[in-house]
Amino acid sequence: MKNKTEGRELEILVDGLSFLEQVRCWELEHCPEPALAGEYAAYTALFTTMLERCNSGQIAEIAVLNCTCGDAFCWPLEAQMETTDQHVIWSRFVQPHRRDTWTYEGFGPFIFEEENS
């Protein structure tokens, strides 16, 4: 993850590519409402705090992207996050408001190496 200091937003990069743009491209191709594809906002520093509180061996459901309005429950993209001593793994993505019609099967998993501070 790359931390943008201005505005204290986080831009999530996967292999140097914007995670948000990867989501947008997936949704454009696989989800039936293209006008809503990629309609998510970058996270604030609070997202980093949430990740830091996860212990090795935990599996949790988290919102990896938020709605552009800032409300965490309005339009999140959720995923299962698993932590190990060496990795953080995001998988099993879901748009909870379109659970029956939007599919993320084949999207991810995304594996991040754990950094030792």
- What pLDDT score does 103 carry? 92
User: Which pLDDT tens digits describe the chain residue by residue (117 residues)?
Assistant: 443 434 456 778 888 999 999 999 999 999 999 999 999 887 655 566 666 667 777 888 888 888 888 777 788 899 998 988 888 899 999 999 998 999 999 999 999 887 755
- What pLDDT score does 13 carry? 85
Residue with tokens 């454009």: 28
CA distances from 41 to 57, 66, 76, 82 (A): 28, 5, 9, 23
- What pLDDT score does 45 carry? 56
- What pLDDT score does 26 carry? 95
Q: Which helix (H) or strand (E) holds 44?
A: strand 43-44
Residue 63, phi then psi, degrees to nearest 5: -90, 115
Residues 6+ apart with CB under 8 A from 93: 64, 77, 78, 79, 104, 107, 108
- What pLDDT score does 7 carry? 46
**What global pTM score does this model have?**
0.80
CB atoms within 10 A of CB 80: 17
